[in-house]
Structure 1
């Protein structure tokens, strides 16, 4: 079982009022390509796995967004670690239908 959950909120700040949604979608695709369990929420995406692996995704997301033209962004990162193991389903199962 994974020991960490990391929630990532990327807030692109594109120039000239450009739509930020394509950048957010690209950030999610970087997470999808990483092959880790994830859940997209309305304000952030939560990923599950080993902490070092998950934290390596943060600069990868930033680099990918810069490559496609997003020169400025904010990120909010939340980390939940439990050496005994933790999962998204464990925390939310009673609310999932």
Structure 2
């Protein structure tokens, strides 16, 4: 399966002062997964095979729960096309 882009905005229901530290744990996990990713101010975009990226989303939610979140809201956007899609083709002209 060709690469796709998946953007994940994860919102753990934790105390305000813990929000960034929990999100940081999710980003640390994504970093360990050997997929290309870019952190933005509202979401993290990853590049890879869809099935692998969806597993990352699932584990990211588990991380939030394990960190004490009573609930986790995840907003996922997927860009997929037959021949694959890359982060570079979308943002290269802006860098």
- Shorter-chain TM-score above 0.5: yes
Q: CA deviation at 1:71?
A: 2.1
**Where does structure 1 lack aligned partners over 5 or more consecutive residues?**
none
Structure 1 distance, partners of 2:14, 2:47, is: 29
> How many residue pairs were aligned?
95
Structure 2 distance, partners of 1:80, 1:30, is: 22
Structure 2 distance, partners of 1:85, 1:74, is: 28
Q: CA deviation at 1:34?
A: 0.8
4+ runs deviating over 3 angstroms: none
Does the 8 A contact of 1:5 with 1:47 survive in 2? yes
Counting only pairs closer than 5 Å after superposition, residues 1-97 of structure 1 correspond to structure 2 as 2-15=2-15, 17-96=16-95
Given the two structures, how large is their TM-score scaled by the length of structure 1? Answer: 0.89
**Where does structure 2 lack aligned partners over 5 or more consecutive residues?**
none
What are the Cα deviations for residues 41-62 of structure 1, in whole angstroms up to 9, with x where unaligned? 1100000001111111111011
Does the 8 A contact of 1:3 with 1:83 survive in 2? no
Given the two structures, how large is their TM-score scaled by the length of structure 2? Answer: 0.91
Structure 1 distance, partners of 2:13, 2:65, is: 11
Structure 1 distance, partners of 2:43, 2:58, is: 17
Root-mean-square deviation over aligned CA pairs: 1.6
